[in-house]
Structure 1
């Protein structure tokens, strides 16, 4: 009886496999988003080095300072950078006095020592960049229930991060394809994964005034703030590359010496 039940179960399994293999499959409905989604464009950055290989590239300090200005005047209204402190700005070329002045112009949460109540105080160089919202609930309430991501590591958190950010910031003026409907409260951007994004176009020509006279076009501001965010995500990029190049040179010399030593040791020994 047990054997009969086992054989019957096996036959049922085989019949089910045959039916599944022979029955016509339903036609796959193409994803309309994939047809209009665009892959990021790489504008080329100084820190990517020659040919974009990223070996000898270094950050353009002037560009990083312009990028910080774009973040401070535009992006900081919605996006935090909780892993970056004001003192870190010295690494992009700001003097100690400038860092103190930039920090002092910002307000950070504090406690009133006299009353014990919540208060604010001018930031110190050791303070992190202040958050635009006190908590996630407030952030969502101010952004149509969308949560603006923290930008400290955004370049590392997105595939092809810096190209993606640059493309996203410059992709708002693309025309909406025929037949595609943008839901109310969203905005069309073909570089966003779903092509409909909650963030409105953040940059417009001339929105900031650069102290060095650089033309503040949307393309230029997008490059500058993207470079700044790349630095924020990898502030040790240059030193790591320098260490890598030095290591490769050392290994090359060591290999050459080892080969010459081998030739000398075995020179008088017949093969």
Structure 2
């Protein structure tokens, strides 16, 4: 009993000392923040939020525009697929944006990169033509090859890019159309980047883009001129349209069931409204003869 009573004051003193140290540390941190505020950085002052873009799938009633999806796929095929993979999407999934089974078979068999597969006779690694059931093959054999071809940067897979970034479709659209000349670039407050932050000069091999979090990225501007991709539906192949279309396509690859979710949500909301009405009617009927 005596030993127990002797431990309690020691534990109390230790707890009090710990609390005092934490309090002193907290006040020291606050004092340092007030006396030495954090210095602004180029990324904080000059990074731009994604531009607004009016996509058909925005909002709770939004739907995918199949023609836009197909144009976006064409941009991915002719421009983006040279560096970026789409490893979570199979060729047969393209039927979800309006391609027929025959068209999907043709797209798969004619794809520039074939699927790695062992030779059935020798066992040596070879390639074969793609099947509709195959996923889109990666443009590089491995990470080393990807780095060697892209200034030591590995191009990210684009399957889920629209979900991996905040305001994904708008981010992709803004990034593709956002390459700028760093010299003379100003923010909304009129500050000039290189005058305020001369150390932020874009290093050799990188490209300035204020929509990218660090302002500089290894990817060269992929969409450089109007008419780079020839649309077959009569849409003007401007850089803006091509960026918007491929952003829409990558939204579909990330959320192919978006329309189904919208429809299910409306069905659930209507069901709940009807159920609430029936429940209220049943309540009134059951308690009709009871006086309050």
Q: Please confirm whether the aligned pair reaches a TM-score higher than 0.5, indicating the same fold.
A: yes
- Separation in 2 of the partners of 1:117 and 1:134? 15
Deviates more, 1:26-35 or 1:74-83: 26-35
Match of 1:165 in 2: 172
Asked if 1:31 corresponds to 2:31, the answer is no
The structure 1 residue matched to 2:160, chosen from 150, 153, 161, is: 153
Shift of 1:207: 0.6
TM-score normalised per structure 1: 0.89
How many Å separate the matches in 1 of 2:163 and 2:244?
A: 17
Quick one: distance in 1 between partners of 2:84 and 2:269? 39
2:89 pairs with 1:72: no
Cα offset, 1:240, TM superposition: 1.2
CA drift of 1:28 comes to 2.7
Alignment RMSD (CA, Å): 2.5
Alignment match of 1:42 (pick from 44, 48, 52)? 52
Aligned-residue offset at 1:22: 6.6
Partner-residue secondary structure (3-state), 1:72 = helix
SS at match of 2:126: strand
Q: Secondary structure of 2:57's partner?
A: helix
Match of 2:141 in 1: 134
- Contact persistence 1:174–1:190 (CA under 8 A): no
Residue correspondences, number: 262
> Is 1:221 the equivalent of 2:242?
yes
Q: TM-score when scaled to structure 2?
A: 0.83
Gaps of 5+ in 1: 49-53
Q: Distance in 1 between matches of 2:91 and 2:288?
A: 62
Q: Secondary structure at the match of 1:255?
A: helix
**1:137-162 Cα distance to aligned partner (Å, 9 max, x none):** 11111111111000001111112211
* Residues 155 and 230, structure 1, Cα contact 8 Å, conserved in 2: yes
Q: Matched residues in 2 for 1:264 and 1:29: separation?
A: 68
SS in structure 2 opposite 1:245? helix
Q: Note the alpha carbon deviations across 1:7-53, whole angstroms, 9 max, x for none.
A: 9x95x9599669947777334321122111100112110011xxxxx
Structure 2 distance, partners of 1:114, 1:254, is 64
Gaps of at least 5 residues in structure 2 are: 1-9, 186-191, 195-199
Cα distance, 1:247 vs. partner? 0.8
SS in 2 for 1:46: coil
